[in-house]
Every structure is written in C-alpha cells, then in structure tokens.
Structure 1
Amino acid sequence: MFDIKDILEPETLEEALELLNQNSQLKIIAGGTDVLIRLHHRNIKDIELLSIRKIKGLDEIKMLEDGSIEIGAMATFAQIFRSDIIEKNIKVLGEGAVSMGGPQVRNMATIGGNVCNGAVSADSAPALFALNAKLKLRSKDNERIVPIQEFYLGPGRVDIKSDEILLSLIIEKQNYENTRGHYIKFSNRKAMDIAMVSVAVVSSIENNKFKDLRIALGVSAPTPIRCSEAETYAKGIEITDENINKIAELAVGSSKSRNSWRASKDFREHLIKELTKRGIKKTIEIEGGEDNE
C-alpha cells in the first residue's frame, strides 16, 4: 500500500498553482514512475500529492515562431521519440527517450518528471545538456527561465521552488540548427536498466573541421555535466582519429567518476572515453550520410 494522505487533481494550471501557493507540502506527480517507486520503498510517507495529469496542453511538443522547440513537461517519453519535430530536428533527445525502460514506462514517464527528479542517470538529461535546454517554471505570481545546467544543484536536488510547476523545456533554434547528435547509454543489462554511463554528442561540421562540438555525460559526476575543456579544444580543429582520441581523453578529465557497487572508477572512465569517441564518430557518419543523399 502507498502511504498517501491525499491526492488533488486540478484541471487548470491556475488552480494547480493556487493549491501549491496555499500548501507548500504538496508533492507534484506527473507520470508517477519516480514518486510511486519512492512511496513503495517507504522513502516518503504520509504524502499529499498534486497530480497535473488533467491539465490540458502540458504535453504538447511544438515549434515556436522563432524556430525554438518547446516540449511540454507532461510529454511522455513515448510521445517524444514518436514526435516528427523531435525526429527531424533533435533526434538525439528521441534516442535518449527510447532508451528509457520498457514500453509501459515510456508511456507513463514524462520528461518533466525525469528532469525534476534530479537523478544523475536520467536518460533525457545528457541530450538536454548538449542542446543547452532551458526550463520554463511558473508559480502563482512569477515565471522564470532557467538553463538546465543551473537547474541541477546536486544529487537528487534541482532548482524548483515548492510553489512552482515546470511547464516546458525549450531548445532554441541556434542550439540545434545544422547539428547532428547521438546518444549512447551503457548499462549492465541490455534492456530496462538505468545507465552506468551515458553520453550525448552534438556536433556541427564544416570543411572537415568541428565548427561546434558539445559533449554531455550522465552518471559521471554528482550531476549531469558538459565537458567544457574537450569542447573548447575541439572547436575549429580538423577531424582526425588523433584529435578525436584527444577530445575523448579531455572528456574523461571533466568527469568525477567514483567506485561504486555498479562499476569501478577506472571502468567508468574507460567507458566515458570509448563512448565519447563512438558518439563523435557517429555524428560524423550521420553528417556524411546526409551530405551524400
């Protein structure tokens, strides 16, 4: 049995924000795949839930007038990887979405819940970091935009106030236009397991040189991270195996891997280097394939 004191189900955003404003103890539930597991293990007790599932429009995935892509916080992972907008413009996020759990989980789990849970293993996080995603948060009296790298504060901690709801995630046109991306997840089992290490690579290539290269890691530090030193080194350099190896080595340097029951520090660092190289080479392959179409 779940230890739930009460569950509220507002049908409008305004009603939900008013309820949060009145009661700071309410816990927002989206798909429920994270909260219900914690309840099952008795990590949280006597909880009051605020379900936002009935609020219309929070699951929309749309292209804005300025070319930005807005993904509603209630969009499920199934919706994300089936979206034509995602497939055409930011396929790297769709790859992260389809790697999460099984079909039943993907049909329920939402991108907003995945991010707000603050887990370093979140399958959406590396792609969102590599795409410089921004989060739109609203309270009764205020709305703010937070870059995703500032949203993650530490393991399981994110910058969302008790009276706020995450409305959507925004990927600006400048962060996806003329880029290619790839997401790789390594886990102990091939199916339905959390990542041991995950890597998202987004690249822009011109004249056989990296015009831009973004590398984001999951399960490689207390929060998802970007590999800034590797990215700076890559900018403007020629695409060669030697340079790709150097970039991958610098990516390892950005990580803060540690020993755990799931993997040793040395093994994680080996994975980071190898998966980074594979991710970079895949984006180069995609670029070449599309140029030859």
Structure 2
Amino acid sequence: MYDIKALYEAESVEHAVRLLMEHPEAQIIAGGSDVLVQMREGKRAGKELVSIYGLDEMRGVSYEEDGAIRIGSLTSFSHITRDAIIQKHINVLGEAVDMVGGPQIRNIGTIGGNTCNGVTSADSASTLHAWDAVVEITGPEGVRRIPIHDFYIKAGVVDLRPGEVQTAIIIPKEAYEGYHGHYIKYAMRNAMDIATTGCSVNVKLSEDKKTIEDARIAYGVAGPVPMRAPSAEKSAKGKPVSEETIKAFAQAVLEDINPRDSWRASKAFRQHIAVVLAERALKESIRLAGGEVNE
C-alpha cells in the first residue's frame, strides 16, 4: 500500500537533524495525514522517511520568558483548540484549526505539518500571519527564528534548508497583548473541505473602544502563499470605529491580494469574497474587543 524505502525514527531533535544530514533525500513525517496520502497516490513513492512523531519535546503550548507563546510544531490541532493559553490569548487560532478536516485529522494533524506544507489554503497559516508569528527552525548550524511571512517562499515551498526541522511557532507578546481576532473560512462545504478563501483579522482598540489603534488582516488563497493586506491595515490604523472605516478597510484589500482562477472559484469571485470576509471579520473582531460599530 505504501512504497517506503526506509523509515528512521528520531529520538531527539538533534537526532532528527543528524538523520536528515545522513539521508539527504529523506523527508520528515509527523502526523502523516498528508505524507502518507501523497505516498499512496504515488507522489512520494520509494522515499526514505524520518519520523519525528515520538518527540514530545516538540509538543504543547507554553510561555517563554518574555511572555511569548510557544507552540511546539508537533502540537495537534485538537490540542491547540483546547489549550488554556490559546483560549485566553489567541482563541481565533484554536477556532481556525478546528476547521481543518474532520476529528480524526485534527487529532493526528500538527501545526508544523500544516505550515511546512507551504500551501496557501492552510487554515492555520493566514491566522498565524495575522498574529505576526515567528517560525523556529533547528538544523545543523543551530537554531534560527524567522517571521512566518519569510518562511513561505512560493507555493508549496518553505524556507527549510538541508537537515533542518521546524521545531516551534512563536507568537510574540506584543503581537497578541490587547488584540482580539476572528477567522472566517469560506468553502463549498461546511466540513472536510479546503478553503476557497480564508480571512483572519486582529484588532486592538483604544481604551475607550472608539478608535482602532491597530488592525492586522491576512488571507489564505488570495495569492500563491498566505499573505497580509498592508493597504487595508494602514487604512484602518488610528481611525474611528465606524461603518465607514470598516468598508474602506475591506475595499483596500483589493490593492494587495492577487487570487487566481481555478476550478474551485474564479479570481473575481475570490476578490468579492475577500472584501465581504474582511468586513465581517473586522466587525466581529471589534465586537470581541469590546467595541461597538457606529453607523
């Protein structure tokens, strides 16, 4: 059923790096919800695999010394959704990954696998972009951390060099403190479907809840990789919480996104949906932040 040349089980992150260096053609397998399916389809037939699934040091959600939230790359979607730290500070991420596949996939699928795939439709990816996430990578030259925007190079390709393993995703304290967010996934079905378009918005309001101090918006399937919409963010920053501000914000996303035509949806439809989702997501983020939209 599965054409596997060899399977090596890593006993630690350092061991995984060593195995990848010893077997440069090998591919990492974590939960296997993507790799095994692709192997069964013949896309990865005859490959060597390095399994990191047994590395509990790469699981779980915790605080770093500076208050940043650390999400181990092997943390499952189900774990993220139920985690108390996630629910307290970035509940929108738990809501986003709870839309991935079905319960079986969410129990086995990992946040690291979802991002390392490099696909623009990943439900976690746009949300992590909106949180200014940082990707931690461990390799033969040590540990490096890069903004998630730089991690995505092009469709299906991420910045993982030979021998490297993504070990964690970091949400800086300044990126989540005082912010509230909402994610909307538009798909043809309510479950077991990839996003036609996904939109994640975070907002930080002034103390009196009348002004948008900051807004961040990111999309999946609005371009070849998950992306932010800086024109929209700039249009809302420092503006009053109002219907006019929200509509200007939503329209401004068209200056940045570049969706494609596909059998799932046309470019024009995706542009239309992107505007609608931006408006809805910002309104809900404002509500979650304690604000009230003035007509």
Give the TM-score band, short-chain normalised.
Answer: over 0.9
In structure 1, the gaps of 5 or more residues are: none
Task: Identify the range of structure 1 (201-210 vs 281-290) with the bigger mean alpha-carbon deviation.
Answer: 281-290
* 1:187-198 equivalences in 2 (<5 Å): 187-198=187-198
Give the aligned partner of residue 34 of structure 1: 34
Amino acid of the structure 1 residue aligned with 2:134: K
Give the aligned partner of residue 288 of structure 1: 290
> Is 1:43 equivalent to 2:43 in the alignment?
yes
TM-score (norm 2): 0.96
> Is 1:129 equivalent to 2:149 in the alignment?
no
Give the aligned partner of residue 240 of structure 1: 242
Task: Identify the range of structure 1 (54-63 vs 186-195) with the bigger mean alpha-carbon deviation.
Answer: 54-63
Task: Give the CA deviation at 1:162.
Answer: 2.2
What SS does the corresponding residue of 2:38 show, helix, strand or coil?
helix
Amino acid of the structure 2 residue aligned with 1:34: D
Residues 241 and 291 in structure 2, CA contact (< 8 A), matched pair in contact too: no
Give the aligned partner of residue 182 of structure 1: 182
What SS does the corresponding residue of 1:105 show, helix, strand or coil?
helix
Give the aligned partner of residue 82 of structure 1: 82
| Distance in 1 separating the partners of 2:66 and 2:73 | 20
TM-score (norm 1): 0.97
Give the aligned partner of residue 55 of structure 2: 55
Give the aligned partner of residue 113 of structure 1: 113
Residues 25 and 162 in structure 1, CA contact (< 8 A), matched pair in contact too: no
| Distance in 2 separating the partners of 1:99 and 1:199 | 13
| Distance in 2 separating the partners of 1:2 and 1:161 | 26
Task: Give the CA deviation at 1:289.
Answer: 7.3
Query: Alignment identity in percent?
Result: 42
| Distance in 1 separating the partners of 2:141 and 2:239 | 47
* 1:205-244 equivalences in 2 (<5 Å): 205-206=205-206, 207=208, 208-244=210-246
Residues 92 and 182 in structure 1, CA contact (< 8 A), matched pair in contact too: yes
Which stretches of structure 1, 4 residues or more, deviate above 3 A after TM superposition?
none
Q: Deviations over 1:178-198 (max 9, x none)?
A: 010011001001111000000
In structure 2, the gaps of 5 or more residues are: none
Give the aligned partner of residue 261 of structure 1: 263
Residues 67 and 173 in structure 1, CA contact (< 8 A), matched pair in contact too: yes
Amino acid of the structure 1 residue aligned with 2:258: K
Q: Deviations over 1:122-164 (max 9, x none)?
A: 0100110000100110113321111100000111010001200
Residues 58 and 72 in structure 2, CA contact (< 8 A), matched pair in contact too: yes
Amino acid of the structure 2 residue aligned with 1:77: F
Q: Deviations over 1:203-224 (max 9, x none)?
A: 0011411100000000110100
Q: Deviations over 1:15-61 (max 9, x none)?
A: 11111121211100011111112112111221000000111211121
Residues 137 and 168 in structure 1, CA contact (< 8 A), matched pair in contact too: yes
Task: Give the CA deviation at 1:100.
Answer: 0.6
| Distance in 2 separating the partners of 1:132 and 1:7 | 35
Residues 75 and 111 in structure 1, CA contact (< 8 A), matched pair in contact too: yes
* 1:134-145 equivalences in 2 (<5 Å): 134-145=134-145
| Distance in 2 separating the partners of 1:256 and 1:216 | 13
> Is 1:163 equivalent to 2:160 in the alignment?
no
Task: Identify the range of structure 1 (257-266 vs 127-136) with the bigger mean alpha-carbon deviation.
Answer: 257-266
Residues 203 and 289 in structure 2, CA contact (< 8 A), matched pair in contact too: no
Q: CA RMSD in A?
A: 1.2
What SS does the corresponding residue of 1:25 show, helix, strand or coil?
coil
| Distance in 2 separating the partners of 1:288 and 1:18 | 50
Amino acid of the structure 1 residue aligned with 2:69: I
Residues 11 and 56 in structure 1, CA contact (< 8 A), matched pair in contact too: no
Task: Give the CA deviation at 1:252.
Answer: 2.3
Amino acid of the structure 1 residue aligned with 2:239: I
What SS does the corresponding residue of 2:289 show, helix, strand or coil?
helix
Amino acid of the structure 2 residue aligned with 1:64: E
